[in-house]
Chains A and B, each alone.
Chain A
């Protein structure tokens, strides 16, 4: 489109298009509009990515020049650092608990609200509110108190304080994430509204029951939205930080049970000043998130249905 040197496509253009101003002038304007983004993408994204890759092969403490150590950071991470593996396991457990639970709950609530005539807007807003508040330190502190020894959960369930119990503390963090299921509810509701009513009417005429309607109409029609939410929530779950920090006073305890990946990265980089090691951790995170996203996209071919593709 922008190859001004080739005359053939321009010759076929209508006279209205030919009257346009010279193309390069508009190109210049485009780059002016883009300049903040270009600067940011270069200096704050691309360059830092390259630098962090380089630093991941060095020893660097921020004060002395980086010292090349080859693959030692990676070797140390994978073979000599049990806390690293602990943080990997903790994060994976958290992702596997929090993401499906949150999405399942969101889908159930969206389905319940879908057909509602009165009160839908109210419920939608009310369920959504925690999604905005839940990311705050304030709510994380509430969470710690409610799940602490002598807190509400202890009183109600008699399970003791989850926050001090290595077997339960991560679940408390995950529940704070699940509590924010209102955001996907809103997206699911928008998706459900896009499904043409004729599909349900046709199914009802054929005498199809509620469950079959859900499996054969709702799920396939909603699958792009479901997929979108799954990818987004998974990527975000891998980067969870604030609730784990608040619940464990920044230490990842008890017994490293809430030492999520980013908390350990923060600890190595900004508390222990091992910037090279933290960079290596960041690159592994980048690769893992990329790989998980790629796998999700690949499997999506088998279950995500795009109406525009027609019959599959």
Chain B
């Protein structure tokens, strides 16, 4: 590149050092995950006693205990509850956020600028400022201890992050397509469903994946709204281990933790391109 380029073997040595450094950092970072996997397969007496990551023999019974579930509720039930909530949230967010985004990105209406500014401001609004009244509203409607408080808000585009993400994407689409369609007599609804929405697919997929992962991981909202053990999600069921964790239950507890993490890991492996690109383009946090 320049005249002062260092000799070739020094460059190579630098590159090797860089990779070594990165790999070392990765090992430290991935240690807690390896520990989780190892502990989920350890017999009870080895969990704390030894520093060894590898168990002396694989204790698969931890997993069969985990499958029995918590508080007499089977893990399948918990898994189903988690999936139901996450699925409802994904559907709601993709539906409502893409509608709002189309209006902000493509249509002209009175108050567009102030409303857009307000929408952006709600991204920074701490959830706690609206939490208690929302709880009171759902309580008055008799919906506490149901899944409605967890799903309904997603159908009302309350996660402005995603509206913004989709707006940004839609602004990048060529306007000529819709203008041509309009000359052919295509109204805003046709042009949204048949032209804009299909082209927005990458942003919608990003929205769907992030919504799934965030809802799956969410603890606070579920903690407030759900209290029947058979309505619990996997995350909430793990909470029972927070209060009472004698080391004898470590194996099954971490087996269940592994099961709870599995969908996120699978999503990550399947969609990492979308996730990383979506992050890079929007600044969404993981």
Contacts and interface: CB of A to CB of B under 8 A. Distances in A.
A300 interface: no
A152 interface: yes
Nearest to A250: B242
Interface in A259-281: 262, 265-266, 269-270, 275, 278-279, 281
Interface string B239-256: 101110100001001100
A111 to B, nearest CB: 11
A2 B130 CA distance: 33
Chain A residues touching B, majority SS: helix
B26 interface: yes
Interface stretch (A70-78, A82-90, A235-243, A304-312): A235-243
A296 to B, nearest CB: 11
A101 interface: no
Given A239-B127, A242-B219, A293-B124, A186 B100 contact: no
Interface in A149-193: 150-152, 155-156, 179-180, 182-183, 186-187, 189-190
A255 interface: no
Contact of A132 (B51, B257, B275): B275
Interface stretch (B69-77, B200-208, B258-266): B258-266
Interface string B71-105: 00000000000000000000000011001101110
Contacts of B110: 2, 27
Contact of B219 (A32, A137, A151, A228): A137
B153 A40 contact: yes
Interface in B1-55: 1-2, 4, 18-19, 21-22, 25-26, 29-33, 35-36, 39, 48, 51
B120 interface: no
B265 A123 contact: no
B270 interface: no
B10 to A, nearest CB: 14
A137 B220 CA distance: 10
Interface residues of A, number: 103
Given A33-B192, A138-B238, A183 B279 contact: yes
Nearest to B102: A33
Contacts of A189: 280
A245 B242 contact: yes
Given A141-B242, A145-B250, A239-B126, A48 B134 contact: yes
A146 B188 contact: no
Contacts of B118: 41
A173 B33 CA distance: 17
Interface in A199-245: 201, 204-205, 228-229, 231-233, 235-236, 238-239, 241-242, 245
A28 to B, nearest CB: 9
Chain B residues touching A, majority SS: helix
A282 B128 contact: yes
Contacts of A289: 124, 126
B153 to A, nearest CB: 6
A132 B268 contact: yes
Contact of A62 (B96, B109, B136, B253): B136
Contact of B124 (A21, A135, A183, A235): A235
A235 B126 contact: yes
Interface in B263-286: 264-265, 267-268, 272, 275-276, 279-281, 283-286
A143 B29 CA distance: 12
A128 B124 contact: no
A16 to B, nearest CB: 9
A128 to B, nearest CB: 6
Interface residues of B, number: 97
A132 B128 contact: no
A44 B108 contact: no
A231 to B, nearest CB: 8
B177 interface: no
A57 B4 CA distance: 69
A31 B243 contact: no
B152 to A, nearest CB: 9
A26 B107 contact: yes
B150 interface: no
23 contacts: A21-B182, A23-B108, A30-B108, A33-B102, A34-B100, A36-B100, A37-B96, A37-B119, A39-B156, A47-B133, A51-B132, A51-B133, A126-B29, A128-B276, A137-B238, A137-B242, A142-B254, A146-B35, A151-B48, A179-B32, A187-B279, A201-B2, A281-B128
Interface of A: 1-2, 20-21, 23, 26-27, 29-37, 39-41, 43-45, 47-49, 51-52, 55, 62, 109, 112-113, 116, 119, 123-139, 141-143, 145-146, 150-152, 155-156, 179-180, 182-183, 186-187, 189-190, 201, 204-205, 228-229, 231-233, 235-236, 238-239, 241-242, 245-246, 249-250, 262, 265-266, 269-270, 275, 278-279, 281-283, 285-286, 289-290, 293
The 9 closest A-B pairs by CB, nearest first: A40-B156, A131-B286, A48-B133, A138-B257, A190-B280, A37-B100, A30-B109, A51-B133, A48-B130
